[in-house]
A and B are shown apart, each in its own frame.
Chain A
Amino acid sequence: EPEVTQTPSHQVTQMGQEVILRCVPISNHLYFYWYRQILGQKVEFLVSFYNNEISEKSEIFDDQFSVERPDGSNFTLKIRSTKLEDSAMYFCASRDTGLVQETQYFGPGTRLLVL
């Protein structure tokens, strides 16, 4: 069964450093998402992406964040200058169509720790 993959599974970085989290969505999917979950808290929507542009973003997704689909298979989330509060689990998700009934498929997540 096709699945969403994410790399790395864990990343430790120093505050102020840039990180790039990578995702490979399911191959025929067209809609892509990033979420994060701070330890013990809810899963929070960050951004959705369709047709090579951002469709929707949350208030969390400020200028420090950017997303890209550089090569037609990868979908990346870049945090330019990490802060301590960026420590969280980051999940990528993808879905096939724009129909709301079409479920999102989530990757296993990248655990980011900012020191």
Chain B
Amino acid sequence: DAKTTQPPSMDCAEGRAANLPCNHSTISGNEYVYWYRQIHSQGPQYIIHGLKNNETNEMASLIITEDRKSSTLILPHATLRDTAVYYCIVRVVRGAGSYQLTFGKGTKLSVIP
């Protein structure tokens, strides 16, 4: 199973872009990179996922390097409500098409006024 490495914490000024890095150097060719976040005491929330192309949705952008060994989640204009723990996850496929998400410790993003 591919493992991910994230910094334990980051700060970002309100209104600025938040760039959250993730290393996944052992990722295999058919594994996707997912990002979730968890706001204090709530269940995790899906943000975005990608395979090798950059992706963008209403919440964030995902930049994956050409060799797929690392990625960056970008929140373009961080707000106080974006303060949360952000998890970078490589999707594991097991058995008859079932899959699990392995959550590490993530990055605690603090958005500062």
Partners in one complex: no
Interface residues of B (CB under 8 A from A): none
> Which residues of A are at the interface with B, using a C-beta cutoff of 8 A?
none
